[in-house]
């Protein structure tokens, strides 16, 4: 059985290049993971996702549990076979969705969709209002059925505006649940004959002492990697960077570090500069569906009238299918007419942009030119 492994290969300051080995392939870090929440990267086939250079995708336990059900995925032999994707998969535990879909950014007691208990969380489905209960053990069981190469521990993601008392309470509960997840992971065998890694999640909202305490505690446990949760949920960029600066010294050097939910290019650069290895976000496909595309010269809104007659590709030098075959004018027409091909092409381009971007980051670190790349990119991308 091929074991999960992380090798740190090169550093430039705190920026790191590494390699993750999983049963379904290797992943070069820093890495951006396209989001396939419900077992699909929106509008794209698995072959198209692979062709743009993606080495790993993300699925979500909460959504897959509700539909189609992890039992159905298990009948197929796991998520890889269910969606015909033979590269690595990471699954979010569903903790963020349980809480965010329950009370959003309003605060813990905003409504009754979520009831937090010491042994888990009772919540109502955002789809049909049916009642469900997630525990650390049940979340691990579901992720075993899904068969992800990398599973996430169940955590409590407190809102960005949480008061200190609640932030500390949620952090302590996250720590207890982390231990239960490890225990269940070790007890329950892999269902499909390959090794599954488990990452812990450090919390603490924007309180520096809580962030340090959580980073130290989660790092001390027997996890394969450490995620930084509860950021990119509405806090200012400066505050997020301060939190990353705060926790970096307390994160293990020999394990991957994953900043959850971050996908804007400048935010990724800021995090890589602070020693982060892994990222995911729905932004590339979400923006694409609204006609916004990323280039090395900045964002373009193809719905702007000036693109109606623009015969250029989205970005010269981009090797994606959209740029090799179609003009801005044509794609803008498709978006205006709500043609599915339009959002497919913009999504394809944005994800290919992210793969190129991450490869350029890796090369800049290898060549000890990360700061120059970060500065040059920042000067051009607007």
Which residues does the chain have with pLDDT short of 70? Answer: 1, 101-112
Give, in degrees to the nearest 5, the angle at Cα 174 between 173 and 180: 90
Q: Which residues contact 30 (CB under 8 A, 6 or more apart)?
A: 15, 16, 17, 268, 272, 276, 277, 278, 279, 358, 361, 362, 365
State residue 102's pLDDT score.
53
Q: Which residues contact 310 (CB under 8 A, 6 or more apart)?
A: 327, 328, 329, 332
To the query of whether residue 297 is one of the catalytic residues in this protein, the response is: no
**Burial environment of residue 268 by CB neighbours within 10 A (0 to 12, 13 to 18, 19 or more):** buried
* Domains of the chain, first to last: 5-281 (3.20.20.105), 288-370 (no CATH)
State residue 297's pLDDT score.
95
State residue 92's pLDDT score.
96
Q: Which residues contact 37 (CB under 8 A, 6 or more apart)?
A: 58, 59, 60, 63, 282
State residue 382's pLDDT score.
78
To the query of whether residue 376 is one of the catalytic residues in this protein, the response is: no
Helix-helix angle 164-187:136-146, to 10 degrees: 50
**CA distances (Å), origin 37, targets 43, 62, 67, 102, 344:** 12, 9, 11, 18, 17
Are 133 and 121 in contact, with CB atoms under 8 Å apart? yes
Query: Among the options 12, 92, 155, 224, which is catalytic?
Result: 92
Query: Among the options 149, 155, 277, 280, which is catalytic?
Result: 280
Query: What does the H/E/C string look like for 205-245?
Result: CCCHHHHHHHHHHHHHCCCCEEEECCCCCCCCHHHHHHHHH
**Burial environment of residue 252 by CB neighbours within 10 A (0 to 12, 13 to 18, 19 or more):** middle
């Amino acid at each position: 059985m091929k074991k999960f492994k992380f090798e740190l290969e090169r550093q430039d300051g705190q920026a790191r290049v590494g390699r993750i080995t999983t049963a379904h392939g290797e992943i070069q870090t820093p890495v951006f993971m396209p989001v396939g929440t419900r077992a699909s990267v929106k509008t794209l086939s698995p072959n198209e996702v692979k062709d743009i250079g993606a080495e790993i995708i993300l699925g979500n336990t909460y959504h897959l549990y509700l539909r189609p059900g992890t039992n159905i995925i298990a009948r197929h032999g796991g998520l890889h076979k269910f969606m015909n994707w033979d590269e690595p998969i990471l699954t979010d535990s569903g903790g963020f969705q349980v809480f965010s879909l329950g009370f959003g950014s309003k605060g813990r007691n905003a409504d009754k969709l979520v009831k937090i208990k010491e042994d888990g969380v009772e919540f109502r489905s955002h789809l049909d209002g049916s009642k469900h209960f997630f525990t650390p053990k049940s979340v691990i069981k579901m992720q075993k059925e899904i068969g992800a190469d990398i599973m996430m521990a169940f955590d409590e993601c407190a809102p960005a505006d949480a008061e200190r008392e609640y932030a500390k309470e949620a952090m302590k509960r996250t720590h207890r649940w982390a231990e239960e997840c490890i225990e269940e992971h070790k007890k329950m065998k892999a269902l499909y004959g390959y090794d599954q890694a488990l990452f812990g999640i450090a919390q603490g909202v924007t309180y520096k002492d809580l962030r340090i305490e959580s980073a130290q505690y989660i790092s001390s446990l027997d996890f394969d990697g450490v995620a930084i949760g509860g950021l990119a949920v509405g806090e200012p960029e400066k505050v997020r960077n301060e939190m990353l600066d705060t926790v970096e010294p307390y994160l293990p050097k020999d394990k991957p570090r994953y900043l959850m939910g971050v996908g804007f290019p400048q935010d990724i650069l800021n995090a890589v500069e602070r020693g982060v290895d892994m990222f995911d976000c729905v932004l590339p496909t979400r923006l694409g569906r609204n006609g916004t595309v990323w280039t090395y010269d900045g964002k373009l809104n193809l719905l702007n009238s000036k693109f109606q007659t623009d015969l250029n590709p989205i970005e010269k030098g981009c090797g994606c299918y959209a740029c090799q075959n179609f003009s801005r004018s044509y794609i803008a027409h498709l978006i205006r007419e709500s043609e599915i091909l339009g959002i497919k092409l913009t999504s394809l381009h944005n994800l290919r942009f992210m793969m190129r971007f991450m490869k350029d980051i890796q090369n800049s670190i290898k060549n000890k030119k990360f700061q120059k790349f970060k500065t040059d990119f920042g000067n051009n991308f607007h």
